[in-house]
Amino acid sequence: MKELQITKINNYEYELKDEKNKIIKMNIEFYDLKEPLKINDKISISKELLDKNYPEYDTFYRFGKLDSIYGRKNSNIDIIEIKTENELIYLQRYYG
């Protein structure tokens, strides 16, 4: 898992910064969050989902609750962790 800090948000466009200050731009839609994410919140995501050569790489990711019918069962690569000021949230990548 790679921890990224949110530096910019524009609708579904997220600009994320890694520990080496490298900027990563991703399109992400979140479902089932009580509150929208904010600048400085952190997202831990598998390195595979960031790798453009990974067969499952996508340009637009969707994440929602872990027990949803839209996610794959038993796929650790598809799980992300979100750290906000007050909460630690786990979400699963949605397909379809």
Domain range summary for the chain, segments of one domain joined by +? 2-93
> Does the model's pTM come out above 0.85?
yes
Q: How far apart are CA 17 and CA 58, in angstroms?
A: 19
For the segment 55-84, what is each residue's pLDDT rounded down to a tens digit?
A: 888 889 999 999 888 888 878 899 999 999
Dump the DSSP string for 17-34.
E-TT--EEEEEEEE-S-S
For the segment 30-61, what is each residue's pLDDT rounded down to a tens digit?
A: 999 999 999 999 999 999 999 888 888 888 99
